[in-house]
């Protein structure tokens, strides 16, 4: 008999994983930064079209905590808004790609036969498209912008979830309780979404968390290459690209944005790893 709820036991298991806890704390911190950026950034206007040539390229000092970039803008404030953008990117990509991928995966596994072949072969095709290359193509066709790069990533991102959902649904389908429900006369909808889906949530959530970091990384890479967000948007990749020219003397304007990217991705990874422990043996 369980004295505690499963959720609580999961939390305790999670807490045994020190790096995961660190990741969690960092993520929470960054979430707060992202949400409240306009309020807590020292120079919120620096996220936009502000130029202060007088203060350009100052090293970290009490006035500008992380220094200023080539146009005199406060690096710290821009990073805060950059985190905001990156987390939003992850959110949007996931919101679009996860439901589509999971839905297609479940359908393929449940109905099998022709539907399965069609869906999985399309997934194969999409698996051959690297997100960065696709973003380049999109930006060649449409104007390069942050929104377009987000769409480009979301356009190919669902394939991983489709495959994951497909594998999970296939194995869950074999379980006795599905056979029982089917023999009682449950509808397809009920079986797919009320019986099978709840049992595959854990791997999907873990993958989504780990993917968030990776998607952000790709987003910054796209912007770094110049086909994503464009100045003056304070996107972390743009900031790194822009600051390249001032290396190595003015190291702060590229190091700190780069470090932020590193920290974001790392936190998602650590947290996702801890989520595996949280879910415990439920992950196949």
Partner 1 sequence: MSQIVLKAVDICKYFHRKHGTLFRKETVVKAVERVNIEVRQGQVVAIIGESGCGKTTLGCTLARIYSPTSGEIWFDGEEISKSQKSDLKRIRRKIQMVFQDPGSSLNPRHKIESIISLPLRIHLDLSKREMKERVMELFDIVDLPRDMMVRYPSALSGGEKQRAGIARALALNPKIVILDEPTSALDVSVQAKVLRLLRELQQNLQLTYILITHNLSLAKNLADEVSVMYLGRVVEMAETEAIFRNPLHPYTKALLSAIPVITQKEKQILPAEVTLDGDIPSPENPPKTCPFLSRCQERRMVCEKSPCPDLVEVEESHYVRCLI
Partner 2 sequence: MKHGEIVTIRDLTIHLTTIDGILKVLDGVHLDIREGEIVGLVGETGCGKSITAKTLLGILPRPPAQIMNGEVYFFGRDLLVLSKKQREEMKHRIGYIPQDPMTSLNPVFNVGQVLVDNLIWRMSNMNLLIYLYKRRSKRMREIAEAGALELLHKVHIPNPRAILGKYPVELSGGMRQRVLIAMALVGNPALLVADEPTTALDVTIQKVILELLLEKITEVKLSGLYITHDLGVARLICNRTYVMYAGTVVELAETRGLLDNPLHPYTRGLVNSIPKLSGVRYEGIPGNVPDYFNPPKGCRFYPRCDKRWDDCEKERPLLREVQEGRFVACKLFG
**Per CB under 8 A, 2 contacts partner 2:** yes
Closest separation between CB of residue 21 and partner 2, Å? 16
Binding site partner of 175, from partner 1, partner 2, none, Cβ cut-off 5-8 A by kind: partner 1
Task: Say which DSSP state 191 is in.
Answer: I
| Interface size with partner 2, residues (CB under 8 A) | 7
Please give the Cα distance from 122 to 220 (Å, whole number): 27
Tokens of 1: 């008999």
Nearest-angstrom CA–CA distance, 27 and 24:
5
| Residue among 2 and 184 whose Cβ is closer to partner 2 | 2
Contact 203, 164 (CB under 8 A): yes
- Least CB distance from residue 12 to partner 2, whole Å? 5
- Does position 4 interact with partner 2 (CB under 8 A)? The reply is yes
Binding residues vs partner 1 (CB under 8 A) = 1-2, 6, 175-187, 190, 195, 198-199
Closer CB to partner 2, 59 or 280, in the complex:
280
Binding partner 2 (rule: CB under 8 A), the pick from 5, 9, 60, 259 is 9
Nearer to partner 2, 9 or 56 (CB): 9
Q: Please give the residues from 59 up to 78 whose contact with partner 2 meets the rule CB under 8 A.
A: none
Site string for partner 2, 12-41 (x = CB under 8 A): xx----------------------------
The SS3 of residue 41 is coil
Rounded CA-CA distance 49/47 in Å is 7
Q: What's the burial of 50, exposed, middle or buried (CB within 10 Å: 0-12/13-18/19+)? A: middle
At residue 135's C-alpha, the angle toward residues 144 and 75, to 5°, is 60
| Tokens at 117, concatenated | 């072949």
Contact 158, 148 (CB under 8 A): no
Rg (CA), the chain: 22
Q: Name the token pair of 198.
A: 């709840």
The helix/strand/coil state of 74 is strand
User: Which of residues 128 and 281 has its CB atom nearest to partner 2 in the complex?
Assistant: 281
Interaction of residue 1 with partner 2, rule CB under 8 A: yes
Question: Taking the complex as a whole, how short is the minimal distance between the CB of residue 13 and partner 2, in angstroms?
Answer: 6
Residue 284 engages partner 2 in binding (rule: CB under 8 A): no
- Considering the complex, state which of residue 9 and residue 52 has its C-beta at the smaller distance from partner 1: 9
Name the minimum Å distance from CB 3 to partner 2. 6
Residues of the shown chain interacting with partner 2 in the complex, contacts defined by CB under 8 A: 1-4, 9, 12-13
């Amino acid at each position: 008999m369980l004295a505690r709820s499963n959720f609580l036991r999961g939390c305790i298991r999670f807490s045994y994983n020190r790096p995961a806890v660190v990741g969690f704390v960092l993520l929470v911190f960054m979430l707060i930064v992202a949400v409240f950026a306009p309020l807590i950034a020292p120079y919120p206007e620096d996220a936009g079209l502000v130029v202060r040539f007088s203060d350009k390229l100052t090293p970290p000092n009490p006035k500008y905590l992380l220094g200023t970039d080539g146009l005199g803008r406060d690096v710290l404030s821009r990073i805060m808004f950059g985190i905001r953008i990156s987390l939003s990117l992850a959110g949007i990509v996931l919101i679009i790609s996860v439901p589509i991928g999971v839905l297609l995966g479940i359908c393929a596994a449940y109905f099998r036969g022709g539907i399965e072949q069609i869906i999985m072969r399309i997934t194969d095709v999409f698996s051959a498209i690297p997100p960065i290359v696709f973003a380049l193509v999109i930006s060649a066709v449409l104007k390069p912008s942050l929104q377009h790069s987000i769409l480009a990533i979301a356009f190919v991102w669902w394939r991983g979830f489709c495959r994951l959902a497909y594998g999970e649904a296939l194995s869950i389908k074999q379980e006795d309780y599905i056979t029982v429900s089917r023999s009682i006369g449950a509808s397809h909808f009920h079986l797919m979404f009320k019986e099978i889906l709840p049992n595959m949530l854990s791997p999907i959530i873990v993958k989504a968390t780990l993917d968030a970091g990776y998607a952000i990384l790709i987003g910054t890479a796209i912007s770094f290459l110049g086909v994503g967000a464009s100045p003056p948007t304070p996107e972390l990749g743009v900031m790194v690209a822009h600051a390249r020219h001032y290396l190595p003397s003015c190291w702060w304007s590229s190091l700190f944005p780069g470090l932020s990217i590193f920290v974001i991705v790392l936190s998602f990874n650590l947290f996702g790893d801890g989520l595996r422990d949280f879910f415990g043996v439920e992950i196949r």
